[in-house]
Structure 1
Amino acid sequence: MTDRLPPTGGPAARDEASVVGSPDLALVYETGVDVKERSQWAYARMRFFRHRLAVASLVVLVVIGLVGLFAPQVAPYGYDDIRLEDATRSPTLDGWHLFGTDQLGRDYLSRVVFGIRTSLWVAVFVALVSTALGTTVGALAGYYGGRVDNLLMRFTDLILTLPGLAVLLTASVFFGSGDPLKIGVILALLFWTAVARIVRGLFLSLREKEFVEAAKAAGASDLRIIVRHMLPNCVGPIIVNTTLVVAAAILVEAALSFLGFGIQPPNAALGKLISEGQSEGFELWWLVTFPGLVIVVIALCINFVGDGLRDAFDPTQRRVRA
């Protein structure tokens, strides 16, 4: 959709340009060029792609995600392929053992690739489920307020007061560990509180807006007002929080697997690979180093992407860089 601006340099045009405070806009009014209207998403996309570190991190994450998704096709060997003749080999190009091998001759690059697939699946599952649950709780609390808000927020505060690690360890023992789906559900039930508080705060401010009052006056149902009118105004903060949950879930899942309460064989997991390799100490240093580096790279890239999304959706909150 294009709008033809009037080619005039009169007082009205100058006043409107002065309100916006942009000399470029004044030039547009004087020349009468066609201006295309851009949505909030278009401006957010432009600001995100100006964040070079976030874009580079997104590219790295896409590559890592594709490697994990197509692990059987990408990995040079199977996850449990045993080759005793290649046991305890340090990283080398010979035989494509780029990450070395373990005591049984299993290629560690292949094991890391399969571990990426499982760890990323769990992290994305946790982020989606916790975001959906937290958004629902926060939206209901913020929209209805009163007793509903008080009840839901007190329950949220109760979850926040629980010692996270103790709850995770207890739940892993009680429900059984080893299954990525069970670990994902346990983590999701603890990660939803942050987004619930964020969405509640946004809804408390939005429910007094004129467009919400107009929708109520027009006879729109509560569900329609929440989904069609209010949630779209909360998408930015929700997306940013979701990226941070992915990073946190990867780290927590790795810690649980390292302690022996997370994903267990025959399922692959980066944390479990570190746990298996740490018993060898410095002799087989690559068994701990490479899975750990992959976890660090994934977590850092996700946080950089989150920073880029935060700047894109809310440029007024952009941090001042020295």
Structure 2
Amino acid sequence: MYKKYSIYRRKNKFPIVSAVLLALIILGCIFANVITSRSPEYMDLANYTKAPCREFWFGTDTMGRDMFSCIWYGGRVSIAIGILSTVISTIAAVIYGSVSAVAGETIDTCMMRFAEIILSIPTLLLIVFLQAIMGKASVISISVVIGLTSWCAIAKIVRTEVKRLRESDYVTAAKSMGGGFFHILIRHLAPNFMASIMFMVVMNVRSAIVAESTLSFMGIGLPIDVISWGSMLSLAQNAIMTGAWWIILVPGIFLVTFLMCITNIGHWMQMKLGNTQRVL
């Protein structure tokens, strides 16, 4: 009994290494102007495609930009897109799922069928379609597009949780005191179902960064002058042709490390939530 409990505890151990690496990357991006001495936009044509050395720690790209500066400043953009798009998708999911839960059976069914239709469409295809409608890509437009295509799965969970909670005593008391829909949602419902969707919210940050990187790699994401980890990887074709391995490897390592750290923390949160639900 004790042995099984110990094994279970070890499996649910907080991923300290992932949290430390994630914190270091985020802090490095926040204080990029402190830890870097070169502008990421400066093109040193005399030192283009230069391998990592004492002067350029991560080397330079095909346009002579310092990769060390680009990594930290580009991380700001990638992380900002991940967070902004997740905020948009979470707000949309909470409102949509809550409205569906409290609406009549017919409206609820129609809203859920619509969400399932959106889920059946490949997300990348939907993102490309919406981005083409919005025109030239920017940090805001890509964040909005990704946010508007990644809310359906969370909305289904919110709907289930709100249906479970709407008959609770505190919700009934709030209704009898004249509480409106959004008042009850924000003050009473959201605090009780937020833990159930937190895992998916965290994973949406990862998915948004992957989507932005994929779009930039395909050449339909952020313009080359807007530096992000994805736009840095868009130079991969030229890097392969010139043998400049560091142009792919350096941003690839930072991107993969960041995504793996988020994934590990997200899985820990999922297991922690499952343990809490079993206790309750």
| Structure-1-length-normalised TM-score | 0.76
Deviation at 1:63, TM superposition (A): 1.9
Counterpart-to-counterpart distance in 2, 1:83 and 1:62: 31
- How high is the sequence identity, in percent, across the aligned residues? 30
Give the Å deviation of 1:211: 3.5
> What is the CA–CA distance in structure 2 between the aligned matches of 1:159 and 1:116, rounded to whole Å?
30
2:16 equivalent to 1:67:
no
Aligned length: 267
Q: Which residue of 1 aligns with 2:66?
A: 107
Match of 1:180 among 135, 139, 161: 139
* Corresponding residue of 2:148: 189
C-alpha distance in structure 1 between counterparts of 2:179 and 2:42, whole Å: 60
**Offset, 1:139:** 1.2
Alignment check: 8 A CA contact 1:212 1:229 kept: yes
Of the three residues 208, 220, 223, the one matched with 2:182 is: 223
The letter of the residue matching 1:51 is K
Please tell me whether residue 309 in structure 1 is matched to residue 277 in structure 2. Answer: no
Distance 1:104-1:208 versus aligned 2 partners, 3 A rule: closer
The answer to whether the 8 A contact 2:119-2:153 is kept is no
Deviation per CA, 1:49-79, whole angstroms, max 9, x where unpaired? Answer: x7331x3322222221222223233323111
The alpha-carbon deviation at position 89 of structure 1 amounts to 2.2
Gaps of 5+ in 2: 1-8
Structure 2 partner of 1:259: 218
Maintained 8 Å contact 1:177/1:261: no
Amino acid at match of 2:253: L
* SS in structure 1 of the partner of residue 38 of structure 2: coil
Displacement, 1:108? 0.9
**TM-score scaled to structure 2, two decimals?**
0.86
Q: Which segment is superposed worse, 212-221 or 111-120?
A: 212-221
Structure 2 SS opposite 1:191: coil
> Which shows bigger deviation, 71-80 or 193-202?
71-80
Residue in 2 aligned with 1:83?
A: 44
Whether contact under 8 Å (1:142, 1:204) holds in the other structure is: yes
Partner amino acid for 2:274?
A: D
Deviations 1:87-128 (A, max 9, x none): 332222x11x22111234321111121211111110100111
For residue 276 of structure 1, report the CA deviation from its aligned partner. 0.9
2:247 to 287, 303, 306: 287
**Code of the aligned partner of 2:162:** F
**2:97 — aligned with what?**
138
11, 14, 39: which is aligned to 1:52? Answer: 14
Q: Which has the larger radius of gyration?
A: 1
**C-alpha deviations, 1:162-191, integer Å up to 9, x for none?**
332222222222322331111111111101
- 1:177-222 deviations in whole A, cap 9, x for unaligned? 3311111111111011111011001111122334433444455444
Structure-1 residue corresponding to 2:3: none
In structure 2, which of residues 77, 84, 90 is the aligned counterpart of residue 118 of structure 1?
A: 77
Distance 1:85 1:218, change over 3 A: closer
Residue 152 to residue 87, structure 1, CA distance change in 2 (3 Å): same
Q: Equivalents in 2 of 1:106, 1:215: separation in Å? A: 58
Determine the C-alpha separation between the residues in 1 that align with 2:204 and 2:179. 33
Task: Write the distance in 1 (CA, Å) between the matches of 2:135 and 2:179.
Answer: 46
**Which structure ranks higher in relative contact order (CA pairs < 8 Å, sequence separation ≥ 6)?**
2
Q: How does 1:228-239 map to 2 (within 5 A)?
A: 228-239=187-198
Q: Which amino acid aligns with 1:138?
A: G
Question: Residues of 1 paired with 2:190 and 2:102: CA distance?
Answer: 11
Q: For residues 262-277 of structure 1, what are the structure 2 equivalents within 5 Å?
A: 262-277=221-236
